[in-house]
Amino acid sequence: MAADAQGVIDWPLEVHRALAASSVRQVGYVPDAGHKRLIELCHADRSMRAVPLTTEEEGIGLATGAWLGGERCALLMQSSGVGNIINALGTIKECRIPLPILVTMRGEYGEFNPWQVPMGQATPAVLEAMGVVVQPVREAAEVPAAVDAALRLAYNSYVATAVLISQRVIGIKSFQEQAAR
Amino acid sequence: MSATLKRRDVVAQLLEGRGELLVVAGLGSTAWDCTAAGDHPLTFPLWGAMGQAAMMGLGLALAQPKRRVLVITGDGEMLMGMGSLATIAVQRPANLSVVVIDNERYGETGMQATHTGSGVDLAAVALACGFRSASTLTRAGEIAALRSAIHAAPGPNFAAVKVVAEKIPILLPPRDGGLLKARFRRELLGAAADTQ
């Protein structure tokens, strides 16, 4: 597993490798700070098309179209974006479209912004209510294996899966601390 | 100016001799229109996911760059996914056309007015986003050129076709999403698609 001299796990690199190894050809995303490096890696990879979206819901359409055309698609989003895909997820379930979703969490571990908390706290329940198989991850070292498993489950069993990457992994955002600098 | 074109005539003309065209049909009236023109395994009619028809066209167009892809959808459906026009324009798929059959109504829910009836110009939005071509059609003589563009003109192309707001018989395509997906993939990708 990729790690720097201090032993810090480079999980975005591992996740990108897993996406490439699974022959993912389209990666739809709405940016999140926690996905910054992975988004850059996907854009730099000529074997996949990274597609920036205006809203996460567009990713559901993109993934459906991709699969109709024989290509695998994965989505990257923040937990707030999960709220934007709920109705469209019904199509994923009804049509049995394989769809791995990598969600960087807000509104949980050490959150600073109270407006993020309601959706962040509801994210697992909302996804499960729509038939998505949810895999929470709280340690960086667990991310690569969880993503690999989510990709396998999605593409082998034709379901939507979501890996929820905790703020504990991606770092706690604090505008107060940034403003004080 | 009141519309004179009839939606079923327009869609039938657009799909005539469709060849290898891949079609996504927006939920409601445009799905019925495509069914009236002839149910086809390479038409994916939507029964939900309102607002996502154009994005499905994008995912399909990116996956199948050698095939022409046509999204036929309604004005209400397109208004719900207007951001997708920006997303599509950024990707610039040369093989994708989006055609809005615009009756300025929500046809399935009581014919309530949509924004296009109040002057919202979807073709202008598409053009401003960066579609290679975008126009609003009102005359029967313009449909043949649109059909040709769908099959050959470098995209992304957009057209809004103004049609009469009329209640006409509903023709239902299959409803089973798994079936619609599987038959589309099998027709496009061959039997190997079943075990991918």
Using the predicted structure, report yes or no on whether residue A84 has a pLDDT greater than 80: yes
pTM of the predicted model as reported, rounded to 2 decimal places: 0.97
Q: Give the per-residue pLDDT at B1.
A: 63
Task: Reduce the DSSP state of residue A97 to 3 states and report it.
Answer: coil
At A51-82, the pLDDT tens digits run 999 999 999 999 999 999 999 999 999 999 99
From chain A, pick out residues whose CB is under 8 angstroms from the CB of B81: 57-58, 61
Q: Which neighbouring-strand residues pair with B105?
A: B113
At B18-74, the pLDDT tens digits run 999 999 999 999 999 999 999 999 999 999 999 999 999 999 999 999 999 999 999
Using the predicted structure, report yes or no on whether residue A154 has a pLDDT greater than 90: yes
**How many domains, in total, are found in chain A?**
1
B27 at the A interface (CB within 8 A)? no
Residue A6 belongs to some domain of the structure: no
Chain A, 71 to 100: residues with Cβ < 8 Å from chain B are: 71, 73, 87-88, 90-91, 94-97
Q: What percent of chain A has pLDDT over 70?
A: 97
- A98: buried, middle or exposed (CB in 10 Å: 19+, 13-18, 0-12)? buried
Query: Mean of the per-residue pLDDT values for chain A?
Result: 95
At B101-136, the pLDDT tens digits run 999 999 999 999 999 999 999 999 999 999 999 999
Residue A1 belongs to some domain of the structure: no
Chain A, 36 to 65: residues with Cβ < 8 Å from chain B are: 49, 51-55, 57-65
φ, ψ of residue B62 to 5 degrees: the values are: -70, -35
Query: Residues A82-97: what's their mean pLDDT?
Result: 98
* C-alpha torsion sign, points B45, B51, B56, B62: positive
At A112-131, the pLDDT tens digits run 999 999 999 999 999 999 99
Using the predicted structure, report yes or no on whether residue B196 has a pLDDT greater than 80: yes
Helix (H) or strand (E) segment spanning residue A26: strand A24-29
Q: Give the per-residue pLDDT at A3.
A: 74
CA distance A38 to chain B (A): 19
ipTM > 0.95 (yes/no): yes
* Residue showing tokens 């009102």: B138
CA distance A135 to chain B (A): 24
Query: Residues B137-142: what's their mean pLDDT?
Result: 98
Question: Is B188 in contact with A70 (Cβ distance < 8 A)?
Answer: yes
Residue A111 belongs to some domain of the structure: yes
Q: Which of A158, A157, A151 shows the shortest CA–CA distance to A96?
A: A158
Q: ∠B58-A15-A159 over CA atoms, to 5°?
A: 55
Measured between CB atoms, which of A59, A70, A73 is closest to B185?
Answer: A70
For chain B, what are the domain ranges? Answer: 7-195
Q: What percent of chain A has pLDDT over 90?
A: 88
Query: How far is the CA of A164 from the CAs of A90, A130, A170, in angstroms?
Result: 20, 15, 11
pLDDT band at A101; cut points 50, 70, 90: very high
Q: Which neighbouring-strand residues pair with A50?
A: A27
Residue A3 belongs to some domain of the structure: no
Q: How far apart are CA A142 and CA B177, in angstroms?
A: 35
Chain A, 114 to 143: residues with Cβ < 8 Å from chain B are: none
Query: How far is the CA of A61 from the CAs of B175, B179, B191, in angstroms?
Result: 18, 18, 24
Q: Give the per-residue pLDDT at A172.
A: 75
CATH number for the domain that contains residue A170: 3.40.50.970
Q: How far apart are CA A178 and CA B166, in angstroms?
A: 58
Amino acid residing at B96: L
Q: What's the domain range around A31? A: 11-180
- Whether domain B7-195 has CATH 3.30.460.30: the reply is no
Amino acid residing at B87: T
Measured between CB atoms, which of B61, B81, B181 is closest to A96?
Answer: B181
Q: Give the per-residue pLDDT at A153.
A: 98
Using the predicted structure, report yes or no on whether residue B98 has a pLDDT greater than 80: yes
SS (H, E, C) chain B: CCCCECHHHHHHHHHCCCCCCEEEECCCHHHHHHHHCCCCCCEEECCCCCCCHHHHHHHHHHHCCCCCEEEEEEHHHHHHCCHHHHHHHHHCCCCEEEEEEECCEECCCCCEECHHHHCCCHHHHHHHHCCCEEEEECCHHHHHHHHHHHHHCCCCEEEEEEECCCCCCCCCCCCCHHHHHHHHHHHHHCHHHHHC
Specify the DSSP class assigned to residue A105. Answer: -
Amino acid residing at B114: T
Residue A2 belongs to some domain of the structure: no
DSSP characters for A58-92? HHHHHHHHHHHTT-EEEEEEEHHHHTTSHHHHHHH
